[in-house]
Amino acid sequence: MGLISDAAQRAIAYLQSPKAIRDRCSQLYSLAKQDKLSHFRVNPDRLAPTAEYVLAVMRENYPDLNIPIHSRWRHFNAGGVDRLADLDQAMAGLDPHERARAKVDLVILSVLLDAGAGSAWRYREAATGQTFSRSEGLAVASFRMFCAGYFSSVPAQPLRADADALEHLTEAALAEGFQVSEENPLVGLEGRLALVQQLGRSLRQHPDFFGTAPARPGHLVDYFMQQAEANTLPAPTILHTVLNGLGSIWPGRIDLAGVNLGDVWVHSALTGDQLADGGLVPFHKLSQWLTYSLIEPLQEMGITVTEVEKLTGLAEYRNGGLCLDLGFLELKAPAIAQVPQPPGSEVIVEWRALTVSALDAIAQSIRQTLGYTAAEFPLANVLEGGTWAAGRKIAAEKRPNGAPPIQIASDGTVF
């Protein structure tokens, strides 16, 4: 960033921080509570019932409330199958560092391929005969692709991902791995392919993060071990590294001084506030999802990840759908929900921003009910227990296909 002005550098660093996500979303949330936004309002009377619904789901899923951190790892064992045990067995001959690298290879690819699949797509797992859809289906499919060596350029070493394989992945191969056909369409297949290919190129551009010969996502393990002080690493540092190392992969995003900002969008209610010409609202949904998901492999290497509470809730359609379906958020013109909205539309930006702040409010309400502090019951547990599962449950109760309450014109790179 040597040629970038100090002001631009400060703005970029701020927009890449979880603090900025909370700050900017809170500004819109405050306006919504005053009924000063164009598309949504907040109904504070529905906070307690929404929190009660989430808590009931949490008790159903985790009766002892011993809830793991929200991460992609939970999805790999969908359908009650311990696929991770099978993976550990397959990696038994690898040293601990290589096992950690392989797990980071896997989880980064799986998270980046985790944008909404659409209501029509299904994945049938040959090994179990089970069929999965949406996020679990994408998790199982990407897991099986990883184990089969789709992301490795060395057939004798299938359990890895490297730049050569990612750059040269074809649409036909990705479609095959996800079992895509005319009868089984997957939303955003082309966008997913472009994301994976661009990931391969980005790995080469950042050897400090991803190493060389070969450049791999999993070499982040080595980088983070070097960055850790007294075997501790703050979660915001992980997020900052993810955003810097992967920022260039996102298509058609806003850039500031030549830097691709990623999952950052514009809302007119915030224009003119002097931040990078105003109106910018960061979410970094997939990057934060990835940050949460990197914690466990790092813990296995003896690194303690701190400040996890500084990360925010994920601005995606399950969490947002929960708030809308239970009336905590209200759409002023319900007809809008029937028209597919692109991610950059003000309707979606507004919905996502209010979701982030609503998740903090729900988490705090649940803690008050249980008598816990934020340290004792962090947001990451509420998300896992939790709001995502509750969002899916209420969607299934309200709509036969479990679709979100607002139609999204996804390109396979945001949700």
Q: What is the pLDDT of residue 117?
A: 78
Q: Does a cis peptide bond (omega within 30 degrees of 0) precede residue 214?
A: yes
Q: What is the pLDDT of residue 273?
A: 56
Whether the full predicted model's pTM is greater than 0.85, yes or no, is: yes
Work out how many domains the chain is built from and give that number: 1
Strands (E), 97-204: 123-124, 131-132
Q: What is the pLDDT of residue 115?
A: 75
Domain hosting residue 57, numbered range: 1-69+270-282+310-415
Q: What is the pLDDT of residue 275?
A: 54
In a domain? residue 170: no
For the record, the structure tokens of 296 come out as: 């466990």
d(CA 289, CA 262): 14
Q: Who contacts 226 (Cβ-Cβ below 8 Å, separation ≥6)?
A: none
Q: What is the pLDDT of residue 277?
A: 52
In a domain? residue 232: no
Run of H or E including 232: strand 232-234
**pLDDT tens per residue, range 282-307:** 999 989 999 999 999 999 999 999 99
In a domain? residue 301: no
Q: What are the C-alpha distances in Å from 399 to residues 49, 183, 217, 404, 406? A: 20, 22, 38, 8, 11
Angle (nearest 5°) at CA 186 between 287 and 410: 50
Q: What is the pLDDT of residue 1?
A: 45
In a domain? residue 328: yes
In a domain? residue 177: no
Angle (nearest 5°) at CA 266 between 263 and 268: 160
List the chain residues with pLDDT less than 50: 1
d(CA 262, CA 15): 10
In a domain? residue 191: no
**pLDDT tens per residue, range 51-66:** 999 999 999 999 999 9
In a domain? residue 105: no
In a domain? residue 94: no
